[in-house]
Amino acid sequence: MELIGSRPDRKVIIYFALTILIGTGLLMLPVSAANNQLRLVDALFTSTSAVCVTGLTVLDTGHDFSLFGQIVILTLIQLGGLGIMTFASILLVTVVPRLSLRDRLVISQTLGGGQMIRPMTLLKAVALSTFIIELIGAGLLFLKFRTQFPIGEAVFHSIFHAVSAFCNAGFSTFSTSLEYYSGNFYVISVFSILIICGGLGFVVIGEIVSRFAYKSTRVSLHTKLCLSMTVVLLLIGTLAFMLADYGNVFGDMNFGWSLVNAFFQAVTCRTAGFNTIPQANLTEVSLLVTMILMFIGACPGSTGGGVKTTTIAIIFLLAYNRFRGRISIRAFKKTISHDSVIKALTVIVAAATIIAIMFVLFMFAEEHTIPHRLSHGWFIESLFEMISAFGTVGLSLGITGGLHDFGKVLIILLMFIGRVGLLTLVFALAREPKKGEIVYIEEQVMVG
């Protein structure tokens, strides 16, 4: 009988689960709370949200947690952003001279790389690039925060937000997130760059750096799809928010500041969770656009969640090429493999199914409490919360803190599934393929 932790896809789940449990234990310590000791479900919720770099909170990070508790949350965010498998793999490579082929492939695929990438080289690059980017981001934020806080507080706020932004976590030590800085172009720019870099993925960042350092370096199809989809989603999102809320939440801003905040909304709602404008004040059109972007999420191998940009790109390319009468799926003079198309379709179907099931359960649990507190209607706020949890985004319309324990458990499960990844979860639960599987004759089925 195969051991539970003997398969690399299951190791990913085990490492995440163990880190969440350890984080829960640390957050339940009296020293972690600023006032009263945390309840188990609240500590578990916070730990899961931090490790899964989501940012949904049932408590105020800056007010309800002590400095020790905030440091625990920061550490969990960093572990979740890099990926527990990354740290475990580094230890594994250090102890074991040679990894199995399957372990090498899982490590590379977890980080978005190809099959020929050497795990140790990739892991070193991931760790180094992460800390360098976070260090630069913290330094840039410190230049602003030092004018508002004592030096010690400014240093901590800078490090905390730089790590949270690059890891696309959305946790903030400020009670109103970044709403105070809605008129500060410098702060919004730094956060936007950190979020975008974290959402691109380590392989994409590495190829971009190599392309500029070595002009002859070839850029992979993966990187081209990630970059093109990121630009398209940012442009469409910014335009949609400008049109939908120019006379609403942007009503007191001139065109320039409206454009800046609309752009940041397009950046953050794809997986980060920070906000410069109150989400509950958005029009329903903007909420719909936000949910679509949250569902799509970031790029594979990044610190973000969602079904991923390349998944959506493959689906659209599939439809486009079929309309053109092509059998193969082409992009940038390359043919996308049949296996990639099947994976993309699997992810979309699995994601929609999981969200639908959780949404129905969530409505049963919270139906009698949500309508009395909210302005957009319980259906929209519940769906928004579900997609935000699955996409590990962290944006909320204000219902998180008032959820029942069962509702919190559902959010915890969605955050965990969204961070681990649907394919990893499916492969972990599936049985090993049998040798000599019977293949039957193909037959056409009418579709559409």
pLDDT, one tens digit per residue, over 360-419 is: 988 887 766 554 444 557 788 889 999 999 988 989 888 888 888 888 999 999 999 888
Mean pLDDT for the stretch of residues 195-204 = 85
* pLDDT the model gives residue 24: 95
* pLDDT the model gives residue 145: 95
pLDDT, one tens digit per residue, over 5-49 is: 455 566 777 878 899 999 999 999 999 998 888 899 999 999 999
Q: Which residue matches tokens 């578990």?
A: 44
Query: Tokens representing 120?
Result: 């140790």
Contacts of residue 50, Cβ cutoff 8 Å, sequence gap at least 6: 23, 73, 76, 77, 80, 169, 171
* pLDDT the model gives residue 26: 95
* pLDDT the model gives residue 202: 76
Three-state secondary-structure class, residue 313: helix
* pLDDT the model gives residue 95: 44
More confident residue, 50 or 116: 50
The helix-helix angle for 67-82 and 8-27 (nearest 10°) equals 170
Contacts of residue 434, Cβ cutoff 8 Å, sequence gap at least 6: none
Which DSSP string corresponds to 30-69? Answer: GGGBSSSPPPHHHHHHHHHHHHTT----SS-HHHHB-HHH
Residue (of 15, 13, 169) closest to 90 by Cα position: 15
**Is the pLDDT at 116 greater than 80, yes or no?**
no
* pLDDT the model gives residue 366: 72
pLDDT, one tens digit per residue, over 340-357 is: 888 889 889 989 999 999
3-state percent helix, strand, coil for the chain, nearest multiple of 5: 65, 0, 35
**Is the pLDDT at 101 greater than 60, yes or no?**
no
Decide: 313 and 229 in contact? Cβ < 8 Å. yes
Decide: 98 and 89 in contact? Cβ < 8 Å. no
Cα radius of gyration (the chain) = 22
More confident residue, 223 or 117: 223
What is the C-alpha to C-alpha distance for residues 379 and 363, in angstroms, rounded to an integer? 8
Decide: 262 and 250 in contact? Cβ < 8 Å. yes
Decide: 297 and 309 in contact? Cβ < 8 Å. yes
**φ, ψ of residue 111 in degrees (nearest 5):** -95, 5
pLDDT, one tens digit per residue, over 74-88 is: 999 998 887 655 654
**Is the pLDDT at 314 greater than 90, yes or no?**
yes
Contacts of residue 448, Cβ cutoff 8 Å, sequence gap at least 6: none
Q: Could you tell me the pLDDT band of residue 326, with boundaries at 50, 70 and 90?
A: confident
What H or E segment, with its residue span, contains residue 124?
A: helix 119-145
* pLDDT the model gives residue 96: 43
Three-state secondary-structure class, residue 94: helix
Q: Could you tell me the pLDDT band of residue 325, with boundaries at 50, 70 and 90?
A: confident
* pLDDT the model gives residue 428: 56
